[in-house]
Structure 1
Amino acid sequence: MSIFSEFREFAVKGNVVDLAVGVIIGGAFGKIVDSMVGDLIMPVVGMLVGGLNFDNYFIALAGQTATTLAEAKKAGAVLAYGSFLTVLLNFIILAFVIFMMIKQINRLKREEPAAAPAAPPPTPEDIVLLREIRDALKR
C-alpha cells in the first residue's frame, strides 16, 4: 500500500473528520465566549465594582508610570493581572457551558426508550432431546 493511499485511508476515517469538525466549532465557540465575556459580562462586572475596566489592571515591573496597559507594555515589563482575570472568567464560563451541554446530552441519552427485549434464542436440539429423555424417564 502506498503512503498516499494509507494517508487517504487515515484522513477519511470518521474519527479524524469528527475531530476536525470539533476543532473548527470549538474555535468559533471560543470566539463567541470571548465576545460574551469581554463585551457583555465584564462591562457589567466593572460597573458593579465602580466603573473599573479590568483590562487596565496591571503592575508596572519596570517602574513605568503609564495609565493604560498598552502604554505600560511599550515602556517595559508589566504584570497584567486584569487581563488574567478576564481570561479566567472566560474559562469558567466556557467550562460551565460545556458542563451544561454534556449534562443535557447525558440526560437525553438516559431518556431513550429501551428497545423491546429480543426473543430468547432457540434451544439447541441436543438440549431438547435431553429434556425429552428426562421427561420419559420420570414417567
Structure 2
Amino acid sequence: MLEEFKKFALKGNVVDLAIGVIIGAAFGRIVESLVNDIIMPFIGALGGVDFSNHFIGLNSGITATTLAEARKQGAVLAYGNFITIAVNFMIIAFVLFLVVKGINRLAQQKKEEPKAPAAPAEDVVLLSEIRDLLKQKTV
C-alpha cells in the first residue's frame, strides 16, 4: 500500500496540482492586496463609505464603532464585511478573466504564426533531380 501511495503522490498530475495550489495562493495574496490596499480605498473615497465597519449588533449591549470591537462585545451581523468580500470576489473574478483572456490570446497567436513549409521528402527531391537531368539531356 505504501508503494502504491508513493506512485500516486509522485505522479506528474499530483505534483502539477500542488505547484498550482502554491502559485494560486501566492497570486491570491497579490490580488487580495490589490483589492484591499489599492482598489477598495478608491471605492470608499468615491462613496465616502468604508464598508468593513458596517454592522448591526445582535446584542443590545454593543456600543462599539468598529467591527473588531463589536465582535468582542457580542454577536454582530457584519453586512459591511460581506459587501467588501463580495466586491473583492467580483474584482478577483474580473482579474482572473483578464489573465485567462490574455493567455488565450497568446496561445492563439502562437497557433496563427506562419509555419515554414516542410522540407520535401527524399524521394520527391530525388525525382525532381532526375526530372531536371532528363530535361537537360533532351534540350
Identity between Structure 1 and Structure 2 (%): 57
After TM superposition, the structure 1 = structure 2 runs for residues 33-112 of structure 1, keeping only pairs within 5 Å, are: 33-50=31-48, 52-63=49-60, 64-111=62-109, 112=111
**Post-superposition shift, 1:114?**
7.1
Aligned length, in residue pairs: 116
Among 13, 16, 21, the alignment partner of 2:14 is 16
- TM-aligned CA deviation for residue 79 of structure 1: 0.8
**Per-residue deviation at 1:59?**
0.9
User: Per-residue deviation at 1:41?
Assistant: 1.3
* Structure with a larger share of its residues in helix: 2
Contact 1:42 1:54 in 2 (8 A): no
TM-score by length of 1: 0.73
Please state how far the C-alpha of 1:110 moved relative to its aligned partner: 2.2
Q: 1:26 to 1:67 in 2, by over 3 A?
A: same
Aligned AA for 1:59?
I
Residue type at the aligned position of 2:53: N
Per-residue CA deviation, residues 19-44 of structure 1 (Å, 9 max, x unaligned), is 10111111111111111111111111
Unaligned runs of 5+ in 2: 121-139
Over aligned residues, Cα RMSD in angstroms? 2.1
1:20-77 deviations in Å (ceiling 9; x for gaps): 0111111111111111111111111111112x32211111111222111112111111
Contact 1:37–1:86 at 8 Å: present in 2 too? no
